[in-house]
Amino acid sequence: MTNDIDTFESARVPHAPAEALRGRDVLSIADFSAAELRTILRRAHALKLERRSGVPHRILEGRTLAMIFEKPSLRTRCTFETGMTQFGGHAIDLAQEHMQMGTRESVPDVARNLDRWVDVIMARVYSHRTVVELAAHAKVPVINGLSDFSHPCQILADLQTIEERLGRLTSLKIAYVGDGNNVTNSLIFAAGVLGLDLHVGAPEGFQPDAAVLGRARALASRSDGEIVVHTNPADAVDMADVVYTDSWVSMGQEGESGSRLKVFPPYQVNAALMARARPEAIVMHCLPAHRGLEITDEVMDGPQSVVFDQAENRLHAQKALLALVLGA
């Protein structure tokens, strides 16, 4: 990894002042301008370089993050808690079986309690409506750690990873292959905001929501981005610089696994599909991966894979969010 932040595109083009992000909720990539997203990425790169150089950054001492988990978590839990520890702050893990948000206590009342005690809230939830409701009633920033509609933290880490490997985000062809899910939605919004060339390969009935595409294409019309949806995965991947995939069966969709596993095998990211991409293309997966289904071992463990770089960058991208929304 380079030691010069200015080699990254997000640092070379206009970015917003850090103050523009102070106190902001982070619910969807679409809520931010291109300049604001570049500010987040620039801070993420800087924090990663500081950490690797052994430079301490205990900039959130005395600050507390409440972490709400309705869904199981490895990356989100570990990276947010580790990030607060590295910042000198504290994270509280609020598991759903203990808090019972929405049954034992309403979502607005949870928000009104937490904002009296903590400085920022992160929520990993089933319904996007829950994180929106938390943000509407909490006086402190709320970060969407994942919902059924959006996964902004993942996409920020992905953008950071692409910049690290390829030096830029624009003038690239990014291909996403698989289910039109929350990760796809956030990637589509990023393409619209930042002006990316994104090609989605998904089967009929599993393509991105029309409303998401409409909003993102409206953004893309102003940013010079392009968002194209294909039914043939080979068309999406053809000469791509980045090939991205995700699970065919997300949490909460287990009852659909039988029908989904009949539809998606042609969308597997394997050596034959990767042969359609550029020779230097990178392969991405937000994890957890179902090896042998959406991606093969050969590709995931191969030299083009940046899967575990993405996982590491969840830490740095989320630290950037925490620092910026708390004005540190």
Regarding whether 305 and 160 lie in a shared domain, the answer is yes
Q: Are 274 and 284 in contact (CB under 8 A)?
A: no
Regarding whether 126 and 44 lie in a shared domain, the answer is yes
Regarding whether 83 and 19 lie in a shared domain, the answer is yes
Residue of 25, 45, 153, 286 marked active site? 286
Residue 69 sits in a domain of what CATH number? 3.40.50.1370
Regarding whether 181 and 126 lie in a shared domain, the answer is no
| pLDDT tens-digit map of 58-85 | 999 999 999 999 998 999 999 999 999 9
Regarding whether 175 and 251 lie in a shared domain, the answer is yes
Residue 286 is among the residues annotated as catalytic for this protein: yes
| Helical (H) or strand (E) element with 77 | helix 75-86
Residue 124 is among the residues annotated as catalytic for this protein: yes
Full domain range(s) for residue 59: 5-151+314-325
DSSP 291: B
Regarding whether 119 and 178 lie in a shared domain, the answer is no
Residue 217 is among the residues annotated as catalytic for this protein: no
Regarding whether 228 and 134 lie in a shared domain, the answer is no
> What is the SS3 assignment for 228?
strand
| pLDDT tens-digit map of 271-325 | 999 999 999 999 999 999 999 999 999 999 999 999 999 999 999 999 999 999 9
Is the bond preceding residue 288 a cis peptide, omega within 30 degrees? yes
Residue of 115, 119, 158, 246 marked active site? 246
Report how many domains make up the chain.
2
What separation in angstroms does the CA of 107 have from each of 45, 128, 130?
34, 12, 7
Residue of 42, 128, 151, 285 marked active site? 151
Residue of 124, 128, 199, 260 marked active site? 124
133-162 core/surface letters (b: 16 or more CB in 10 A; e: else): bbbebbebbbbbbbbbbbbbbbbbbbbbbb
Q: How confident is the model at residue 251 (pLDDT cuts 50, 70, 90)?
A: low
Given this model, what pLDDT does residue 3 score?
A: 56
Look-up: residue for tokens 């970060």?
143
- What is the C-alpha radius of gyration for the chain, rounded to an integer number of angstroms? 19
Regarding whether 318 and 296 lie in a shared domain, the answer is no
- Integer Cα distance of 67 and 53 in angstroms: 28
Regarding whether 250 and 146 lie in a shared domain, the answer is no
Regarding whether 163 and 46 lie in a shared domain, the answer is no
Regarding whether 162 and 63 lie in a shared domain, the answer is no
Residue type, 46: A
- Integer Cα distance of 217 and 225 in angstroms: 8
Residue of 25, 75, 154, 241 marked active site? 154
Regarding whether 283 and 177 lie in a shared domain, the answer is yes
